[in-house]
Amino acid sequence: MQIHQIQMSFDKQQDRLLLRLSTTDKSEFRFWLTRRYVKRLWEVLLKMIERDPSAAQYLDESLRRAMMEFQHENMVRGGDFSKQFEEGAGSMPLGNTPVLLSRITGKQNADGGQVLCMHPEQGQGIDLAVNAQLLHMISKLVSDAVAQSDWDLPLAIDPRLSGAPATQAVPPHKLN
């Protein structure tokens, strides 16, 4: 079973992100992501992107982050984010109601490929075999969906480019 489409959207009423995954065999999986979960997901995505050999070769963190940002821009440029999510799944293996995710890990499989594991507290979740391009696409979808929320989460591949307010030094007090 391979991924056909991924959609991520912000639901104001639920104050959650809705992740929808469809597969080539017409199955659809739906998941709720809370703000807390998205923060953890972002950390895992960054670590997995950092493991990519083309970024991992740089020992200097600023060079590694710059390479990750460069790769991110190149990989998402080739994605088709304008295509509508195809409705009409043949089956919903986890049911029609989205599953609330609470656990996440990123690991390597026996072949050295990366796997993003997303699961609820109890019950069935999903383990996605991901390559570098899919990791970057997922991170873009997460970032775009969070931008539609009022969560105030600055998500960026390179945190220096997140648009977060710069820390300002407090000028020393003068003694008279």
Number of domains in the chain: 1
User: Within a domain: residue 55?
Assistant: yes
User: Within a domain: residue 125?
Assistant: no
User: Within a domain: residue 114?
Assistant: no
CA quadruple 54, 81, 24, 91: dihedral sign: positive
What's the chain's average pLDDT?
Answer: 81
CA quadruple 142, 12, 127, 24: dihedral sign: negative
Alpha-carbon distances, residue 41 vs 1, 59, 63, 93, 143 (angstroms)? 23, 24, 23, 23, 11
Alpha helices, DSSP H, located in 33-117: 35-50, 53-56, 61-77
**Digits of tens for pLDDT over the chain (176 positions)?**
688 888 999 999 999 999 999 988 889 999 999 999 999 999 999 888 887 766 666 677 777 777 777 776 776 776 665 667 667 767 888 989 999 999 999 998 888 889 999 999 999 999 999 988 889 889 999 999 999 998 988 887 655 444 433 333 333 333 33
User: Within a domain: residue 164?
Assistant: no
User: Within a domain: residue 117?
Assistant: no
User: Within a domain: residue 67?
Assistant: yes
Bridge partners (DSSP) listed for residue 131: none
CA proximity to 95, closest of 148, 8, 25, 31: 31
> Residue 78 belongs to what domain range?
3-99+132-151
User: Within a domain: residue 77?
Assistant: yes
